Amino acid sequence: MPSDHDEEGPPDLVIESSEPRNTVVREFKTRIEFILQLRISSTAYVPLELKCLELLGPWSGEIVWLRKPQICNQHTKMYRLESGRQFEFAKVLNHRLFGGDTLEAGRSWEGIVLGIAFGGQISRNFIHDDPAHADLVLTDQYGREHATELEVLIDRSATIRSRVSSASYSGLYGGHDHSGVLRPHSRNDSFPSQSWRSTFDDDRAITPVGLFDNVKSKFSESKPQ
């Protein structure tokens, strides 16, 4: 086992984000998905086996790191997140980190680390596309912790689309009151303004009222006296 004096020198493990813009924490209604683009380099004199990974940041929920890929067909293994996004087996580090692989002295691993926090939420202090700082800690076979600070990108696109979709049309009923009961639109409700225009060359505007006046006039002319 390396001596305690090693802590005074350069770190035995260097952890960094290989693609910061693709190191993403993505929020959904019932979970958070983690996509970390990492480069892990060993400067130790002995091989290191990494036993545990922790990621601490502005979110709630316990992160479960994907352990096994799915077999898509006879020749292809893929990692798949709950959102349906798939990643090639060779580009993912999960099976190396959690499968007992050894990082040899002077070597590096580079790839994607995938995780899910079911029931988790990102702090409301961060809006979509905000950067956030997170502490990543890897523990080796000797119980030593190797920590680094990462910058991750907050992705709320999934929850933004969900809110826009549910609010895009309210129909006859304007929404719920405080009791949870649907209420109809009233005269005082405001509606988005609409622009009705003709296809004539002079580009004259025709309003809905004008259309009904034309129909009423034609009806009166055709009515028997």
Please give the pLDDT value at position 73: 64
Decide if 63 is inside a domain: yes
SS3 of 174, please? Answer: strand
Decide if 32 is inside a domain: yes
- The answer to whether residue 124 scores a pLDDT higher than 90 is yes
Decide if 43 is inside a domain: yes
Element (H, E) at 167: helix 157-167
Q: Can you give the CATH number for the domain in which 158 is found?
A: 2.60.40.10
* Structural domain span for residue 100: 4-162
The DSSP code for 13 is E
Please give the pLDDT value at position 221: 54
If one counts the domains in the chain, the total is 1
Decide if 128 is inside a domain: yes
Q: What's at 70, amino acid-wise?
A: Q
Each residue of 150-174: pLDDT tens digit? Answer: 999 999 999 987 665 555 444 444 4
Mean pLDDT over 122-136 rounds to 96
- The answer to whether residue 180 scores a pLDDT higher than 60 is no
Report how many helices (DSSP H) and strands (DSSP E) the chain contains, helices first. 3, 14
SS3 of 118, please? Answer: strand
- The answer to whether residue 141 scores a pLDDT higher than 60 is yes
* Tokens 């006039």 found at: 217
SS3 of 132, please? Answer: strand
Decide if 194 is inside a domain: no
- The answer to whether residue 206 scores a pLDDT higher than 60 is no
Please give the structure tokens belonging to residue 201: 């060359």
Closest CA to 25 of 136, 104, 110, 105: 136
Please give the pLDDT value at position 10: 74
Measure the CA dihedral 123/127/130/135, to 10°. Answer: 0
Task: Return d(Cα 161, Cα 164) in angstroms, integer.
Answer: 5
Contact 13, 102 (CB under 8 A): no
Please give the structure tokens belonging to residue 155: 């992705």
Decide if 191 is inside a domain: no
Decide if 224 is inside a domain: no
The DSSP code for 98 is H
Decide if 206 is inside a domain: no
- CA 205 to chain centroid, in Å, comes to 44
* Average pLDDT of the chain to the nearest whole number: 78
Each residue of 61-95: pLDDT tens digit? Answer: 999 999 888 876 667 889 999 999 999 999 999 99
- Taking CA atoms, 158 is separated from 17, 20, 60, 81, 163, in Å, by 24, 20, 18, 14, 9
Task: Return d(Cα 80, Cα 68) in angstroms, integer.
Answer: 10
- The answer to whether residue 30 scores a pLDDT higher than 50 is yes
Rg of the chain on CA atoms, in Å: 29
Each residue of 2-19: pLDDT tens digit? Answer: 544 445 667 899 999 999
Please give the pLDDT value at position 5: 45
- Weakest mean pLDDT among 66-70, 121-125, 176-180: 176-180
Rounded to a whole number, what is the distance in angstroms from the first to the last CA of the chain? 109
Q: Considering the entire predicted model, what is its pTM?
A: 0.69
Element (H, E) at 153: strand 145-155
